[in-house]
Chain A
Amino acid sequence: MIRYEGKTVIKLTVNGSVHELAVRPSDLLLDVLREQLGLTAAKPGCKNGDCGACTVVIDGWPAKSCLVLAVEAEGHAILTVEGLGGTAAVQRAFVEENAFQCGYCTSGFLMVCHALQTQHPTLPEEYVIEEWLASNVCRCTSYEEIRAAVGRLYPPEDAP
């Protein structure tokens, strides 16, 4: 008989709440968020770190949750789209600029943009925005809508 085995109880801090979870050593943070906590905003797109649909924010920085083991995430603050509520500036910006179509990559882009705004409170250089957002792939939009949404996060200070 061939067996896999071994589950460990860990504590994950997600969207401000602490959860006790039984996980295998190989369980991905992405799968644990989705299947144990029902936080399905982060999506599997490749499970290889290439598409960014699974991006969450860990300690203020974007991270691909398919490249993070659940056991590695213990002791860190994890934020998902569900944790934004509906009040984050980036959510309204994405709606106003039509920065999504099918919506599958959207959670990942939202978290990258949210972290960008946190780490760069004032408008960064264009290349910085591109470097941050090039971690993720969108198959529907032309990206110009996502750029415009990022623009909305940095209103001109001298606007009337």
Chain B
Amino acid sequence: MAIGESIPRKEAWDKVTGRAQYCDDLPVTGLLEARLLTSTCAHATIVRIDMTRALAVDGVKSILTGDDCPELFGPLVQDRPALARGVVRYAGEPVALVVAQDAPAAELAARLIEVDYAPLPLVLTPSQALADGAPLVHCPVNGYKKVVTDMYPEAGTNIASRYKIRKGDVQAAFPKCTAVVRQRFALPPSDHLAMEVRTARAEISADGQVLITTASQAPYTVKKQLAEAFLIPAGQIQVKVPFVGGGFGGKAPVVLEILAFLASRSVGGKAVRLSIPREQDMASAPGRLGLEADITLGADGDGLIRAAEMTYWLDCGAYTDIAPNMTKAIAVDCTGPYHIENLHCDALCVYTNHTYATSFRSFSHESYTFCIERAMDLLADKCGLDPLEFRLKNAIRPGSLTPTQVLCSDSLTGDLTKCLTGVKALSAWEGGRAVPIKQDTVRAMGVACFWKSANPPTDAISGAMITFNSDGSVNLNTGVVEMGSGGQTDLAQLLAERLRIHPDQVHVVMPVDTRTAPENWKTVASLTHYMAGQAVLRAVDDLIAQLRQNGAQAFGCPPDEIEVANGRVFSKKNPEDFIAFKDIAQGYQSPLGESIGEPVLGRGGFMLKGLSLLSPETGLGQTGPAWTLGAQVVEVEASLKTGSYRLISASTVMDVGRVVNPALMHAMVAGGMSMGISLASREAMTYDAQGIPQAPNLRSYKLLHIGQEPDYRVAFVETPEEGSPYGMRSYSEHGIIGIPAALGNALSAAFGRPLVSLPLTPERILNGLEEGGHDPV
């Protein structure tokens, strides 16, 4: 059967022959070119914009500024202009948009626009932003139109929203603890660095039809936001998304599409391509958030965690985008997968003058997990326990309550104990202590656990349509974007399993066109298998019912006597006498020439059910259908004198519910681990004191290259999730989550000092050592 088989990606040959077309691979003839001018100040009033010289460039068609677009944008609260209006709030913010005959003219004109800024005081970290008398990034912070109800901006501050978790009685519990640790953490922002730079095209026909072609994870959101902002009937907007060259959450927000639309509108609807260089993709388009945290954990004499108090401050940058939801998501899962009865957590989304943040692979669970899992190691140490055994002791289990007081079961959360014991064996766990191997060189391991649930809108939807070809194979059409996460191949396998055909017989429509594919909320949150998957299964059931109808008429028996399997329709009473799909799926013609039945067209829809908003006072509620959890270990060999280290191995055991495609799931998880190692070992968006990004390019901002990677070990636990297709859990983002923490734990063990920040570069490790490190309170 199809499930459990390591089939190649459905689009594999398109991708190795160069046939897979990404947005910018589409023909460029007949396109005008649009380019951005971005802010050189992190916080300033725009005093003057002089376009005289730019407008004189031959071939320039139009130049837009904030004056040309009064609308504000944002998925949760509308706080962001398409082009800065009067004030810039981060260096890299779009200030002007040039449309010209060709790229050289557009680029030249953008350079010739003169902008005078009057600098304003700025804030670059949540700590600075929350200090008394801090300059305000937005004033008034609560003056914007809310798109959702669970946004709580605090007037007169830089706090865009706050989420509270109150469970048990922390005040009573802490005094009973015999071991208490308290630690502050600070993680810098970084970038998604999808290999494909964002790009978008727009044209508007004479009768007002808008066509957007874009590299987006959220084509239906593009349609919706443009329709609402510019008062266009949604049906007049068509959004096309070809292959996407990596998203990691960074292509979920609607950014360039708005600008491309404005550009086209300014030139009478002519087709326009908006291209940005890598430097603007990093500095102007949203990145990963920064995070500060203060965590206090207390355990009793048996090494059981009795109380936890924590505050997270997310650096969302200049605009909120989806960051308040990430703040909420961090609050929802704030403890990690541990049984803690007394909990007090505040998670704050804080404006700064950084590039604004958006969803990042795992909805930034890797960030808070670094903090909580480092604190876990500190507490294990204080209790005198092996960090892995300490986690086993405190692992979440059936009957535990999550931070938002959802009752845990194997189905809902999975089995952490199996993951921990699994990773202990897989990594050949040595107890978490540094082992000297030669002069000034040690080996050490670090462990971290993770869990994640999703935070979709409570009414998010998916759909699937299936048609037959004349050879009996099927075409699957969903609104799922193919950006590397393999969702389409998972869906093909689910379809094949349900229809009982070989996956080779499933053709998947890869590009999304909102005119032809049923709406799919977004391709985010690792929910493709769950949402689109259920839509696919319903579409298959619909197909089968119709095949039965045709079969019943062809065989002259009741539909419930008809069986559908192996590409055939037959009566259970006589399986030897069958009709192949190719002869019955488009209606059946009898040997006598009689037309029987109807063409078979499968459709399925799915809407999320049973989710809730959180109680503003206690956090009570359930935001996602289920959790995925796991345990990870990283092993390093560290040079104590130089601060440098080599990655030896990285292991993950994850409860994925059901292994649908062993090879692809392994690759997806290992890819996530690789991203985690890159993030933790070298990545940061660095800003100078004026808030100017220092390294928005791939020359300075180094990613992991081949030859720097550890030996990856991946294994799966299969505790089925009830209600999810074939028991599958989300898995595609999750490989990243615990890796920065496990690396931090390994290096802290190796160097004998608690490391509390990222990235873990030799320089920073050594400096930390020279400063005497940071001891737990």
Evaluate whether A98 and B663 lie within 8 angstroms (CB atoms) in the complex, with A47-B277, A103-B484 already known.
yes
Given A40-B25, A102-B243, 5 other A-B residues pairs in contact with their CB atoms under 8 A = A1-B56, A100-B484, A137-B195, A143-B704, A144-B670
Q: Are B706 and A104 in contact (CB under 8 A)?
A: no
Residues of chain B within 8 A (CB-CB) of A2 are: 53, 56-58, 108, 112
Residues of chain A within 8 A (CB-CB) of B16 are: 81, 86, 91, 94-95, 100, 106, 110
Q: Which of B56, B105, B243, B703 contacts A103 (CB 8 A)?
A: B243
Residues of chain A within 8 A (CB-CB) of B105 are: 4
Q: Are B13 and A95 in contact (CB under 8 A)?
A: yes
Which of B414-422, B532-540, B601-609, B671-679 contacts its partner?
Answer: B671-679
Residues of chain A within 8 A (CB-CB) of B112 are: 2
Interface check A121, CB cutoff 8 A? no
Which of A31-39, A69-77, A152-160 contacts its partner?
Answer: A31-39
Residues of chain A within 8 A (CB-CB) of B667 are: 98, 101, 141-142, 145
B702 to chain A: closest CB distance in Å?
9
Instruction: Write the residues of chain B forming the contact surface with A, with a CB cutoff of 8 angstroms.
Output: 8-9, 11-18, 20-22, 24-25, 27-28, 53, 56-58, 104-105, 108, 112, 193-197, 243-248, 277-278, 483-486, 663-664, 667-668, 670-671, 673-675, 697-699, 703-707, 709, 712
Q: Are A139 and B707 in contact (CB under 8 A)?
A: no
A104 to B56, CA, bound (A): 38
Q: Are A102 and B18 in contact (CB under 8 A)?
A: no
Residues of chain A within 8 A (CB-CB) of B674 are: 141-143
Interface check A82, CB cutoff 8 A? yes
Q: Are B706 and A102 in contact (CB under 8 A)?
A: no
Q: Are A51 and B195 in contact (CB under 8 A)?
A: yes
Q: Are B194 and A46 in contact (CB under 8 A)?
A: no
Please classify the interface of chain A as helix (H, G, I), strand (E, B), loop, or mixed, using the class held by over half of its residues: loop
Closest to A53 in B: B195
Evaluate whether A3 and B58 lie within 8 angstroms (CB atoms) in the complex, with A95-B13, A102-B246, A144-B670 already known.
yes
Closest to B104 in A: A4
Q: Are A101 and B699 in contact (CB under 8 A)?
A: no
Residues of chain B within 8 A (CB-CB) of A127 are: 707
Residues of chain B within 8 A (CB-CB) of A34 are: 25
Q: Are A103 and B245 in contact (CB under 8 A)?
A: yes
Instruction: Please encode chain A, from 43 to 86, with 1 for each CB lying within 8 Å of some chain B CB and 0 for all others.
Output: 11111101101000000000000000000000000001110111
A39 to B671, CA, bound (A): 28
Residues of chain B within 8 A (CB-CB) of A86 are: 13, 16-17
A96 to B245, CA, bound (A): 20
Interface check A140, CB cutoff 8 A? yes
Residues of chain A within 8 A (CB-CB) of B244 are: 102
Evaluate whether A47 and B195 lie within 8 angstroms (CB atoms) in the complex, with A2-B53, A101-B486, A101-B667 already known.
no
A144 to B246, CA, bound (A): 18
Q: Are B712 and A144 in contact (CB under 8 A)?
A: yes
Interface check A146, CB cutoff 8 A? yes
Residues of chain B within 8 A (CB-CB) of A81 are: 16-18
Which 9 pairs across A and B sit closest by C-beta, in order of nearness? A41-B18, A104-B245, A102-B484, A103-B15, A101-B484, A50-B698, A130-B707, A40-B25, A142-B670
Report the tally of A-B residue pairs with Cβ distances under 8 A.
Answer: 164
Residues of chain A within 8 A (CB-CB) of B712 are: 142, 144
Q: Are A35 and B671 in contact (CB under 8 A)?
A: no
B57 to chain A: closest CB distance in Å?
5
Closest to B109 in A: A2
B608 to chain A: closest CB distance in Å?
26
Closest to B282 in A: A46
Interface check A134, CB cutoff 8 A? yes
Interface check A147, CB cutoff 8 A? yes
For chain A, residues 89 to 116, give those with C-beta under 8 angstroms from any C-beta of chain B: 91, 94-96, 98, 100-107, 110
Q: Are B278 and A46 in contact (CB under 8 A)?
A: yes
Residues of chain A within 8 A (CB-CB) of B104 are: 4, 24, 26
A84 to chain B: closest CB distance in Å?
7
A104 to B660, CA, bound (A): 25
A152 to B522, CA, bound (A): 37
Interface check A133, CB cutoff 8 A? yes
Closest to B27 in A: A38
Residues of chain B within 8 A (CB-CB) of A24 are: 104
B716 to chain A: closest CB distance in Å?
16
Residues of chain B within 8 A (CB-CB) of A98 are: 8-9, 663-664, 667
Give 25 pairs: A residue, B residue, CB < 8 Å, sorted on A.
Answer: A34-B25, A40-B21, A40-B22, A41-B18, A43-B22, A48-B697, A50-B699, A51-B195, A53-B195, A91-B17, A98-B9, A98-B664, A101-B667, A102-B244, A102-B245, A102-B247, A104-B194, A134-B707, A136-B706, A137-B195, A140-B195, A142-B673, A142-B709, A143-B709, A145-B670
B355 to chain A: closest CB distance in Å?
18
Interface check A29, CB cutoff 8 A? no
Q: Are A134 and B108 in contact (CB under 8 A)?
A: no
Residues of chain B within 8 A (CB-CB) of A14 are: none
A112 to chain B: closest CB distance in Å?
10
A143 to B58, CA, bound (A): 47
Residues of chain B within 8 A (CB-CB) of A133 are: 706-707
Interface check A138, CB cutoff 8 A? yes
Residues of chain A within 8 A (CB-CB) of B24 are: 40, 44
Residues of chain A within 8 A (CB-CB) of B277 are: 47
A41 to B25, CA, bound (A): 8
Residues of chain A within 8 A (CB-CB) of B675 are: 139
Evaluate whether A95 and B8 lie within 8 angstroms (CB atoms) in the complex, with A45-B195, A101-B668, A145-B667 already known.
yes
Residues of chain B within 8 A (CB-CB) of A43 are: 22, 25, 195-196, 245
A50 to B670, CA, bound (A): 23
Evaluate whether A101 and B671 lie within 8 angstroms (CB atoms) in the complex, with A35-B28, A45-B195, A134-B705 already known.
yes
Instruction: Tell me which of A34, A38, A39, A102 has the highest count of chain B C-beta atoms within 10 A of its own C-beta.
Output: A102
Q: Are B699 and A139 in contact (CB under 8 A)?
A: no
Residues of chain B within 8 A (CB-CB) of A4 are: 104-105, 108
Closest to A100 in B: B15
A141 to B9, CA, bound (A): 14
A26 to B107, CA, bound (A): 13
Residues of chain A within 8 A (CB-CB) of B707 are: 127, 130, 133-134
Q: Are B53 and A141 in contact (CB under 8 A)?
A: no
Evaluate whether A102 and B195 lie within 8 angstroms (CB atoms) in the complex, with A4-B105, A145-B667 already known.
yes
A50 to B702, CA, bound (A): 9
A22 to chain B: closest CB distance in Å?
13
A101 to B246, CA, bound (A): 8
Q: Are A40 and B18 in contact (CB under 8 A)?
A: yes
Q: Which of B56, B58, B671 contacts A140 (CB 8 A)?
A: B671
B619 to chain A: closest CB distance in Å?
34
A102 to B670, CA, bound (A): 14
Evaluate whether A137 and B705 lie within 8 angstroms (CB atoms) in the complex, with A46-B697, A103-B11, A104-B196 already known.
yes
B772 to chain A: closest CB distance in Å?
36
Q: Are A96 and B671 in contact (CB under 8 A)?
A: no
Q: Which of A40, A91, A105 contacts B195 (CB 8 A)?
A: A105
Closest to B14 in A: A103
Q: Which of B20, B278, B709 contacts A47 (CB 8 A)?
A: B278
Residues of chain A within 8 A (CB-CB) of B670 are: 141-142, 144-145
A48 to B670, CA, bound (A): 28
A137 to B675, CA, bound (A): 12
Residues of chain A within 8 A (CB-CB) of B28 are: 35
Residues of chain A within 8 A (CB-CB) of B671 are: 101, 140-142
B482 to chain A: closest CB distance in Å?
8
Closest to A135 in B: B705
Closest to B667 in A: A98
A26 to B262, CA, bound (A): 29
Residues of chain B within 8 A (CB-CB) of A94 are: 16
